[in-house]
Structure 1
Amino acid sequence: MKQMLGGILHASGVEAPAGNRFCAQWRTKCISGCIPPRRSWASSLAFRQPQADYWIHWLTPILNAALGDEMQLPARQPADLEEVLQACPELQFILDGTERPIQRPKDSQRRKDYYSGRKKQYTAKNVVITHKPSGRILGLSRTYPGRRHDKAVADEESFFFPPGSHLWEDTGFEGYAPEGVMVHCPKKKPRKSELSPEEKAQNRAIAQERIGVEHSIGKVKIFRIVRETYRNHRSEFEDLVMETACGLCNLLLACRPAKVAQIVTA
Structure 2
Amino acid sequence: MKFIAQHSKINPILEQTLGRKLVLPKRQIRTPEDLISLFPELSDIFVDGTERPIQRPKDRDRQKNNYPGKKKRHTRKNTIISDKNKRIVYLDSTVEGKKHDYSMFKNKMPLDINSKKHNFWMDLRYMGVKKDYPDINIIMPKKKPKGKELTENEKENNQIIIGFRVKAEHAIGGIKRLRITTDVFRNKKDKFNDRIMMIASDYGIIILNLND
TM above 0.5, yes or no, is yes
Q: CA deviation at 1:141?
A: 0.6
Matched ranges for 1:1-266 at <5 A: 41-42=1-2, 53-56=4-7, 58-59=8-9, 61-63=11-13, 66=16, 67=18, 70-73=22-25, 75=27, 77-79=29-31, 82-85=33-36, 87-132=39-84, 134-160=85-111, 161-163=113-115, 164-177=117-130, 178=133, 180-253=135-208, 256=210, 259=212
Name the SS of the counterpart of 1:206 in structure 2. Answer: helix
Q: CA deviation at 1:226?
A: 0.4
CA RMSD, aligned part only?
2.5
Distance 1:84 1:253, change over 3 A: farther
Structure number, greater radius of gyration: 1
- What per-residue deviation string (whole Å, max 9, x for no partner) do you get for residues 100-159 of structure 1? 011111111111111123322211100000012x11100011101111011110111132
Q: CA deviation at 1:170?
A: 0.8
Unaligned runs of 5+ in 2: none
Distance 1:120 1:74, change over 3 A: farther
Q: Distance in 1 between matches of 2:129 and 2:14?
A: 31
Q: TM-score, normalised by structure 2?
A: 0.84
Give the total of aligned pairs.
205
Q: CA deviation at 1:55?
A: 1.3
Q: TM-score, normalised by structure 1?
A: 0.68
Q: Distance in 2 between matches of 1:111 and 1:189?
A: 34
Contact 2:119/2:137 (<8 A) preserved: yes
Q: Distance in 2 between matches of 1:63 and 1:175?
A: 43
Q: CA deviation at 1:252?
A: 4.0
Distance 1:121 1:193, change over 3 A: farther
Distance 1:129 1:53, change over 3 A: closer
Contact 2:181/2:197 (<8 A) preserved: yes
Q: CA deviation at 1:65?
A: 5.0
Contact 2:173/2:204 (<8 A) preserved: no
Q: CA deviation at 1:234?
A: 1.8
Distance 1:159 1:212, change over 3 A: same
Q: What is the one-letter code of the residue matched to 2:35?
A: V
Q: What is the one-letter code of the residue matched to 1:213?
A: A
Q: CA deviation at 1:250?
A: 2.8
Contact 1:124/1:143 (<8 A) preserved: yes
Contact 2:121/2:165 (<8 A) preserved: yes
Q: CA deviation at 1:74?
A: 5.8
Distance 1:224 1:192, change over 3 A: same
Q: What is the one-letter code of the residue matched to 1:147?
A: K
Contact 2:176/2:182 (<8 A) preserved: yes
Identity of aligned residues (%): 30
